[in-house]
């Protein structure tokens, strides 16, 4: 049995709009790094590389920036959760694999169709490679119409139906589970404007849950029980914690949560 049945990579974790680093952020990182440098760290190339490798992740790299997109490789399948601006970066990485040769296959699950969760779709290069195959899943009415609308010629020069890859839209509205080989995917509706769904992936006794964009306003047991049961015994839970406690109070009914829940 594979000791690591899930490989999870976060390509976008921000909400509402992308939030790239600005010059002030870079300057702060540089100053923090310079405070830690010692003469022996600059002795030669190997010493410099060792110094950089030993820095905390938040200094030697960066995180955030792009909107929602998480890639899960499990059981030989590529599962993608949401198509925010991080989808563009994921697409560039997939091009280094079979997707660059038009031989890739992946499954894109949409939590909902707010813009920050679909804005990366027009920039996902594997869609433009003939031979690649994709399925896009959602429980939302008029899903295809929504995606086509985003790529209306008034907003984008390539139509949704202009991709060269084979793209199949799959409605989950009347289904209870999606089976990909031995990989099982189920879903649960969350509390967010416009109808939002979380996804649970189970494989080899392990489970992963992607649950963005939800406001847990009613904390009564009867209200929370379905969600708690869906989350129960998960090995990894991706959870909406966009707000501070004060923001959660100020932005009631906006459909987001905080780490205090």
Within-domain flag for 216: yes
Within-domain flag for 260: no
* 98 in Cβ contact with 104 (< 8 Å): yes
Kindly report the backbone phi and psi dihedral angles of residue 112, in degrees, each rounded to the nearest multiple of 5, phi listed first.
-170, 180
Within-domain flag for 11: no
Q: From CA 122, how far away is CA 85, in angstroms rounded?
A: 10
The answer to whether residue 248 scores a pLDDT higher than 90 is: no
Residue 31 domain boundaries: 23-60
Of 37-46, 47-56, 146-155, 246-255, minimum mean pLDDT range: 246-255
Number of domains in the chain: 2
The average pLDDT across 235-255 equals 70
Q: From CA 249, how far away is CA 261, in angstroms rounded?
A: 12
Same domain? For 32 and 156 the reply is no
Q: From CA 97, how far away is CA 86, in angstroms rounded?
A: 18
Within-domain flag for 34: yes
Within-domain flag for 224: yes
The average pLDDT across 127-136 equals 98
Average pLDDT of the chain, as a whole number: 89
pLDDT tens for 73-124 read: 999 999 999 999 999 999 999 999 999 999 999 999 999 999 999 999 999 9
More reliable by pLDDT, 254 or 158: 158
Same domain? For 112 and 197 the reply is yes
Same domain? For 245 and 151 the reply is yes
Contacts of 8 (CB under 8 A, 6+ apart): 70, 71, 72, 208, 236
Same domain? For 35 and 144 the reply is no
Burial 133-152 (b: 16+ CB within 10 A, else e): bbbbbbbbeebeebbeebbe
Same domain? For 246 and 190 the reply is yes
Within-domain flag for 171: yes
Within-domain flag for 131: yes
Within-domain flag for 54: yes
């Amino acid at each position: 049995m594979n000791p690591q049945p899930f490989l999870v990579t976060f390509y976008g974790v921000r909400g509402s709009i992308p939030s790239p680093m600005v010059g002030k952020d870079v300057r702060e990182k540089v100053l923090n790094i310079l405070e830690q440098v010692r003469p022996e760290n600059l002795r030669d190339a190997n010493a410099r590389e060792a110094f950089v490798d030993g820095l905390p992740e938040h200094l030697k790299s960066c995180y955030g920036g792009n909107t929602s997109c998480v890639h899960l490789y499990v059981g030989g399948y590529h599962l993608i959760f949401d198509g925010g601006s991080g989808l563009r970066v994921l697409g560039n990485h997939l091009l280094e694999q079979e997707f660059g040769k038009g031989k890739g296959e992946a499954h894109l699950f949409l939590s909902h169709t707010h813009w920050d969760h679909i804005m990366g779709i027009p920039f996902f290069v594997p869609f433009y490679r003939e031979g690649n195959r994709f399925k896009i899943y959602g429980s939302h009415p008029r899903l295809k119409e929504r995606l086509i609308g985003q790529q209306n010629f008034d907003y984008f020069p390539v139509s949704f139906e202009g991709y060269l890859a084979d793209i199949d839209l799959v409605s989950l509205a009347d289904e209870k589970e999606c089976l990909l080989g031995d990989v099982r995917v189920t879903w649960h509706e969350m509390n967010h404007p416009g109808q939002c769904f979380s996804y649970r992936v189970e494989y080899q006794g392990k489970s992963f849950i992607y649950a963005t964009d939800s406001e847990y306003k009613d904390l009564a047991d009867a209200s929370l029980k379905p969600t708690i049961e869906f989350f129960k015994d998960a090995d990894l839970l991706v959870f909406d914690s966009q707000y501070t406690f004060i923001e959660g109070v100020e932005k009631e009914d906006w459909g987001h949560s905080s780490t205090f829940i």
